[in-house]
Each structure stands twice: as structure tokens, then as C-alpha cells.
A and B are shown apart, each in its own frame.
Chain A
Amino acid sequence: MRILTYIRQVLDAEESVHVANNAAALENSKLVMDTMDEYGVEEALRLRESGIEAEIVAVAVGPARVQDALRTALAMGVDRAIHVETDTRLDPIALSKVLAQIAQQEDATLILSGGQQADWDSHALGAATAERLNWPQATWVSALELKGTTLTGKHDVDEGSETFTLELPAVITTQQGLNEPRYPTLPNIMKSKKKELRKESLDGFEVTPKLNFVSAGIQVKNRLNKILDGKDAPAAASQLVDLLRNQAKVIA
């Protein structure tokens, strides 16, 4: 079987965000593979290590720099990578058209993708791709097993979690708790340099986004920052409760 794992390159969570020209400015910031997508890469590797014969292909769409995230995936153990190179920012609905076409070209039967994107804060890519392929999906998966063509697992729903079964082909969106992603080892980093990283142009995918990005801004809510010294606990507690009751008026 062939597994596709979709990868995004995002701002490292420890970095502060800057905005310039009506968009988040990422130049000069540390960029990493989205942690949510790392769970997908790791899970694909674990499925293979559990005895399933699979080729694992990492896919990314974005500017030239995105290949660094694909290199990380290759170093983790992915077999080859496809980079659809474009400077156009695509919303998840438009992006799903690219991913679905690659899945068909590659004859993939399982797609793994992060449950929520750390930059665009979107949940949509996995479900949108599944819909385009007419595949089922399971989102927010925290445990996964594959026997033959049947996936079993556990995922989070509105209030609580469910166990499920699902037949391939399918889309799975991944999240924290599914696994602990491995760090690439030096020998694997060396090996990965020889692996195929194929470049494709976005033109062939006939994508016409219906969403425009207009502007971006950083809004900082002004906070009172009234910080009390807690050495005298009863006095501080009394002052806090008074402030919450009579100034903020948020408790009775």
C-alpha cells in the first residue's frame, strides 16, 4: 500500500509572530514541521514497522523553504517526498484539490494529516480531501491500528471519545497522544539526502481559490496587570476576592 502524509511548515510555537504587508511575516523566524503533522509521519512509520508493507510519501505545498520540512520527514524515515512549489497562499479547501489529485496519481489508500494547523488554525484539510476523493475519514485520532484493509482506532468527538473501525481507503487526521514522534538520527539524516524529493508546479492542478486573504493584525487585549504579593495569603486572597466582586464584577 501507499501512505501519503501531508506536511506543513509553520512558525515554531516558541517564536513570536510578526505582521507585515497584511500577512504574518515569517522571514527571520524559526520554522518547523507542524507538530500535528509530525504525528502523522510517525504513525505512518509505525504502521510500517508493525509489519505492513507500505511506501510512505510525504507531500507539501508551498514556497521553496517548505522543502526543509520535507527533508525532516525524509530523515525521520519517509521514502520519498513531493513538493508542489508555489508562493500562492491556498486555503484548505483549495489545497485539498491538490492533495486529492496527488493521492490519485500516487494510488494512495491512506492519507495522514494534522488535526489542526498551527498557522491557519484550520481543521478542514483532512475532511475536504476525503470528500474530494469520496473517502471516509476519522478526525482527531489518538490511537490507530491497521489489519488488512481495516483501520481501528480511537478519536475525540464533541464531548468525549469514540472507538471506531473504518475500511481503506481513508483519511486520518492526527493529534497529540497518538504517538511520540522520533528525532531523525544522524545516519538517517545522511541517508535522506539521497532520497527523492520531486518538485511539481501548481499549474497542473487547476486550483481556483474562492477565498481571499485581506489583512492580518495583532490585537493585544489590554489587561489590568494588577499583580498582588501573596506572602500574606489571607490578605492577598481577601483583596483578590474584593477586586473580582466589586471591580471586575465577575463573581457574586
Chain B
Amino acid sequence: MILLVVEHANGKVSKSTWEMVTAARELSQQQSVTPVAALVLGNNIAAIATEIARAVDQVLVADLPALAQYDPELWSAAVAQIAREGEASVILIGGSRSGREYSPRVAIKLDAPLLEDVISLKISGDKKLEAQRYTYLARVTETIETSAPIAVVTIKPGVFNPATPRAEAAEQFDVDLTLATSRLKVTGKTAERSSRVSLAEAEIVVSGGRGVGSAEGFTQYVEALADQLGAAVGATRAIVDAGWRPYSEQVGQTGKTVQPKLYIAIGISGAVQHLSGMNKSKTIVAINRDAEAPIFKIADYGIVGDVPQLVPAILAELKK
């Protein structure tokens, strides 16, 4: 059995889950059609279970008040238990921050290797798994291989094509869980307040760096262009450190990794830490005053010039 742990938010199956479904289906076909089971953890998740039933062969549901909030110990215990009971050979977990937080615990519980943040996955030889992943700030692609009959895998978001739902729905089963105790007590939450599309799921990202001049400049150029294009907003570490933008918008090594169809970098010089968070974007556009800025080396299209002149001109052109 291939076990896929469903990522969901706001009553919907996340895009990352549909990408995991693609990875699971590919593996399933290589392994003489091993069934794919989806595990849904949460509370009031009937709609999610119904939605994912059109993607897999079996849906396992743990709909419990205790699972209303994600917790690394609860999640890892639940996933390991279901993997053991179902004799899963591969456990697929999303490469979100939480997925990458609880997956190592699952691997230790199952005495399995962890293939972390992979961009490709296949069976190699005698049922072992081979995967590729980015290392060295996304500058190197490494191939790794398991030497165990079972593996825990986290799938890098935005790499696999999202699967399309099938016509028929798989059967749903409620599972009994032995719940772990959560020892991390959450005392408060600050949600990312944004009316815009989230960075992880956006098809277009408009980002700004020091070259936008000020926090006001960011609003005037980056946010205005993002709103015009229906894009998510990103920022460099330098301007997050300067307090112009919240950390939740930071793209790069210590922020988020994005891989949109279009990435527009405004006033960003292109430090390697920033590039590691966006250098896999399909099309990259750079707007910067300095023709020597490293960002131009990885840009498909660029304009060398002043942000305060260029961005309003682009906005005017888009509105024509």
C-alpha cells in the first residue's frame, strides 16, 4: 500500500495533495498496481474525505475533535500507526513546513529512511526507491536511494503536476487511532493576513527588494502590480529585516520556496539566499537599476532602469 497523508486547509484539499496524488499514481503503476490509500486527519473533514475519494483507491478518515489542530506528535503517531496497520511500503507526506516537521518522527517510528523534499520519485530495482532533491541552496540536484523496504517521503510542493479527479469515488473507512499526547502547548496564533493568493499556490509572484526604496514604495509598485496580475506578494530578507514587510512574505533560504509560472523581481539584486527560493520558477522577470545585478543572470526577461518609472509604465500598459 502507498499511504498518502492529505494536506488540507479551509475545508478543501490543498493543491500540494493533488501533486502527491500524481507521485502516488506513478509509483503505484511501477509497483504492479499497488493500491493508494489517502489518510485524512482533522475535525469536520467529511467534505475533504469526499473530495479526495476521487483520487485514490481507499480513503481512511480520522475525524476527531482532538485532531482539530495540527501537532507534530499527534500527526506522526497517527500516520505511523496507520502505516503499520496497512503495511504501507511508501508514506507520502506534503513538503509543507508541518509535513517536513512531523515526517522525521514518522520515519524514526517506522525505522524507515526519510526522502525529504523530493522532486522526482521512482522504483529502482528490487522495490527500492530512488529520488532527486535540491541541495546547496537549490543549486545542486542530488540523487538518493533507499536501502530499506519502507520509506517516508516528503514531496516538494509545486513540482509534480496536480492530478485530475476520477469519475468514480473510492470507499471511505473510519480509523481508530491511539492518540498521542501533544506536549507543545499553543498559546496564540497569528495568521498570515492576506486577501491575496498564498505564495505557495500562486501562479504569479511579484517580489520586491531594497530597490523599491521604502515600505511605501513596496505598496506602490510591488503590491499594485501583484493586484493587477492577481499575483502573490514576495519580499527579500533585507526588507523583511528592515521591517518593511512581514516574514510570511519572505522568499529564499530562510523563507519560502516558490516555483510559479511567472516570477517578477522588482528592485532585487539577487543574493544567492534569495535565488534559492525562486530559481526554479518557469519564467523570471527582473527589473533593476544595476545592469550587473546577479538577478539578470537567471532572468528570462529584464529591464535595466528605475523602478519608479518602469512599474507605473507596466501597470499602464497592462490596463490598456
Which residues on A are within 8 Å of B, measured CB to CB?
11, 13-14, 17, 19, 24, 36, 91-93, 96, 115-116, 118-125, 127-128, 130-132, 136-140, 142, 152, 156-167, 175-177, 209-219, 221, 223-231, 233-234, 236-238, 240-241, 243-244, 248, 250-251
Contacts and interface: CB of A to CB of B under 8 A. Distances in A.
A238 B317 contact: yes
Nearest to B111: A210
21 contacts: A13-B271, A17-B139, A93-B113, A116-B253, A119-B135, A124-B103, A127-B101, A127-B105, A132-B108, A140-B97, A160-B248, A162-B187, A167-B183, A210-B148, A211-B114, A212-B144, A217-B140, A218-B141, A224-B301, A227-B304, A244-B301
A79 B257 CA distance: 36
Secondary structure dominating the interface of B = mixed
A138 to B, nearest CB: 6
B310 A216 contact: no
Contacts of A229: 303-305
Interface in B278-320: 279-280, 282-285, 287, 291, 296-306, 309-310, 312-314, 316-318
A166 B229 CA distance: 43
A91 B136 contact: no
B191 interface: yes
Contacts of B271: 13
B143 interface: yes
Interface string B88-124: 0000000011101111110111001111110000000
B262 A248 contact: yes
B104 A213 contact: no
A118 B76 CA distance: 25
A222 to B, nearest CB: 9
B273 interface: yes
Contacts of A243: 301
Contact of B144 (A164, A214, A225): A214
A166 B113 contact: no
Interface in B240-285: 247-248, 253-254, 261-262, 271-273, 279-280, 282-285
A139 B134 CA distance: 21
Secondary structure dominating the interface of A = mixed
Interface of B: 9, 70, 72-73, 76, 96-98, 100-105, 107-109, 112-117, 130, 133-148, 183-192, 198, 204, 229, 237, 247-248, 253-254, 261-262, 271-273, 279-280, 282-285, 287, 291, 296-306, 309-310, 312-314, 316-318
A240 B285 contact: yes
A233 B140 contact: no
